Amino acid sequence: MQKFTVSYPLLIAAALALAFDKSGWIILYLAAAALHECGHLAAILLCDGRVQHITATLCGLKIDYTSRRQTSYAADALMALAGPLANLAVMLAAAAASRFFPDENLFYFCGVNLILALFNLIPAAPLDGGRALKAALMALWGADRGERAAQTVSLAAGWLLAAAGLILLFFTRRNASLLFAALLVLQNAHCPSARRSKQGNMRNKPCF
């Protein structure tokens, strides 16, 4: 059975980006995003999960996996935070390497990993920070109350992200990435989907 697929919109977008990208930022971003997802995959395997299928889309990776046993809230938080932690670890390694091999690409790579980690730590689902916060609140207050509290935080973070996106678009005149992220967050907050089922677990988040 094929375990990895790439959506056609992602292939088209990546081809266009690589064709018109003269600075090399796209390559650095793709490398940082791949390491981010490797962190998630490593955590899933560490928590005794079995990956069934991975789909690469414009919004990031969708990882379908099953667990041999019921995972704890701590395991859910670990799997969520593993991606940003991987980016932070790579950033520190690249910063250390830049002291011996000064290269502007290493400095850019540090920045890309830092931005990717901080963005995904925003406490709003379906970002990693929102998933980790949800696991923590459910552990503290129970499933129902914790999920409602996490949804409220996600909604507030989504509107703040939308405001930041409008400011960014106003000053740059072209960068609407934060607005796109805010739309995903607000859509998720208003129409939350189940993250867990008896058949397994599914992770689907944007990776900017």
| Joined tokens for residue 47 | 């928590």
For range 123-147, the mean pLDDT:
93
For range 20-27, the mean pLDDT:
77
Sole residue written with tokens 């932070």: 88
Q: Which of 119, 50, 120, 123 is nearest to 82 (CA)?
A: 120
For range 123-131, the mean pLDDT:
92
Give the pLDDT of residue 32.
92
Spatial distance between the Cα atoms of 184 and 189, rounded to a whole number of angstroms: 9
* Sheet of strand 201-204, all strands in order from the earlier edge strand to the far edge: 4-6, 49-57, 60-67, 201-204
Give the pLDDT of residue 198.
32
Contacts of 67 (CB under 8 A, 6+ apart): 47, 48, 49, 50, 200, 201
Residue 197 has pLDDT above 60, yes or no: no
Which residue segment(s) compose the domain that 187 sits in? 4-204
Number of domains the chain is built from: 1
For range 34-52, the mean pLDDT:
91
| Residue 150: band (very low, low, confident or very high) from pLDDT cuts 50, 70, 90 | very high
Q: What is the mean pLDDT of the chain?
A: 85
For range 173-180, the mean pLDDT:
87
Q: Tell me the per-residue pLDDT of 57-116, one tens digit each, with 9 for 90 and over.
A: 776 778 888 887 777 899 999 999 999 999 999 999 999 998 888 888 899 999 999 999
For range 28-56, the mean pLDDT:
90
CA angle 40, 120, 172 (to 5 degrees): 140
SS3 22: coil
Q: Which of 97, 129, 106, 137 is nearest to 32 (CA)?
A: 106
| Residue 207: band (very low, low, confident or very high) from pLDDT cuts 50, 70, 90 | very low
| Residue 199: band (very low, low, confident or very high) from pLDDT cuts 50, 70, 90 | very low
Give the pLDDT of residue 142.
92
In this structure, of 42-46, 54-58, 168-172, the range with the lowest mean pLDDT score is 54-58
Separation in Å, CA 60 to CA 7, 71, 87, 141, 184: 10, 23, 15, 30, 12
| Residue 2: band (very low, low, confident or very high) from pLDDT cuts 50, 70, 90 | low
Distance of CA 67 to the CA centre of its chain: 21
Spatial distance between the Cα atoms of 76 and 59, rounded to a whole number of angstroms: 21
Give the pLDDT of residue 196.
42
pTM assigned to the model:
0.82
Residue 19 has pLDDT above 60, yes or no: yes
Under a CB-based contact definition with an 8 Å cutoff, are residues 69 and 49 in contact? Answer: no
Give the pLDDT of residue 121.
95
